[in-house]
Structure 1
Amino acid sequence: MSGHRSYARPLEGADRITARAEADELLIEADKVVRSTDPYLAGHFPQVTLYPAIFLLDGIRQAVGAELHRAPSLAAHLGPGSPDEPDTREGPDRRPDGPGDDWLELGTLDSARVLNPMLEGDELRLLIRVSADRPGALRAALDCRRADGAQVAKMTVELVRGGSS
């Protein structure tokens, strides 16, 4: 295959993110409203706006990467990044250029349980607890709830620093 590959606009994993470091953990709250007008939902499920649970994984990855600077010990646990090495990739594989953005990737998915559907208009709150895991990896535990308090999903993932391909 030759030629230029094009990518869809990256998924917006959260509408709002807040975080705080506490002891040896990073506690993150990220909010996401399910909207049928979001471009990545077009055609996902005929005539019903259903938020794919797999998108929660990217929400975790994006939120932790954006807020990792608040927990320097966790960032150090991941090992050094390559900020001096230019990133020539395009599309969603390109590492963020902004301060405080670490490009993280999913190492493993340890557990995932979806308890309720996430539908048009649902206001989701992703509560993410991040801690050190094996050397070079972080453990992120997600508790996702709707605005009415109903738990919709819970997941535990391992995150590692992204590298160049």
Structure 2
Amino acid sequence: MVPLKGRRRYARPVDGADRITARVETEELLIEAVKVVRSTDTYLEGHFPKITLYPAIFLLDGIRQAVGSELSRSPALATHLGLGGSEEETWLELGTLDSARVLRPMLDGDELRLLIRVSAGRPGALRAALDCRRADDAQVAKMTVELVQGGTS
């Protein structure tokens, strides 16, 4: 795809969550996103021979999408990021991956709960800490990332 005069264009990303809830608590945005791993999802076809294995990299996009969709709930965090009071979904990009640890495989049928704690980071950035758990409450991954304002979609 050819950029249009300095504007970035993006392909439609994988859906990072099946459902999202969020609330503001003090100076943080607390998000719970749920994603069910399905072997029938086309993006998983052929990812790993004879077994559906959810790629951990998709958790990063799940964080990015969930925070972008719920950021308008926290005007203070939106302002810290440099945005106005828009009610629209915000396109965020990964600034840095500060830490990532995958503790268990994420398999077909697993319901993943992405518990994301969002706070102000350095100027123009947000810090998002992920605690990812299966429906049986077993922790499968934890990550800390920096999110920054993205281009246009």
Would the TM-score normalized by the shorter structure come out above 0.5? yes
Q: Which amino acid aligns with 1:148?
A: D
Q: Secondary structure at the match of 1:134?
A: coil
Pairing 1:157–2:145 present: yes
Q: Which amino acid aligns with 1:80?
A: L
In the alignment of these two chains, the number of paired residues is 145
2:74 maps to amino acid: A
The residue type paired with residue 50 of structure 1 is L
Contact 1:33/1:123 (CA < 8 Å) preserved in 2? yes
Correspondence list, 1:11-160, <5 A: 11-80=14-83, 99-160=87-148
| Deviations 1:132-154 (CA, angstroms, capped at 9, x unpaired) | 00000000000000000100000
Q: Percent identity?
A: 81
TM-score (norm 2): 0.89
* Structure 1 unpaired stretches of 5+: 84-98
| Counterparts in 2 of 1:160 and 1:8: CA distance versus 1, 3 Å | closer
Query: Aligned in 2, Cα 1:9/1:78: closer, same or farther, shift over 3 Å?
Result: closer
Cα shift at 1:53: 0.3
Secondary structure class of the residue paired with 1:144? strand
Aligned-pair CA distance for 1:39: 1.2
User: Is contact 2:80–2:120 with CA below 8 Å preserved after alignment?
Assistant: yes
The 8 Å contact of residues 70 and 89 in structure 2, kept in 1 or not, is answered as yes
Aligned equivalents of 1:121 and 1:67: distance in 2?
26
Structure 2 CA distance for partners of 1:101 and 1:9, relative to 1, 3 Å: closer
- 1:157 is aligned with what amino acid? V
Q: Equivalent residue for 2:6?
A: none
Equivalent residue of 1:135, what SS? coil
What do residues 20-56 of structure 1 show as CA deviations (whole Å, max 9, x unaligned)? 0011000000000000111110110011000000000
The partner residue of 1:10 within 9, 13, 35 is 13
Q: Which amino acid aligns with 1:161?
A: Q
Structure 1 residue 8 displacement after superposition: 6.4
Measured in 1, the distance between the counterparts of 2:71 and 2:13 equals: 20
Unaligned runs of 5+ in 2: 3-9
TM-score, normalised relative to structure 1 = 0.83
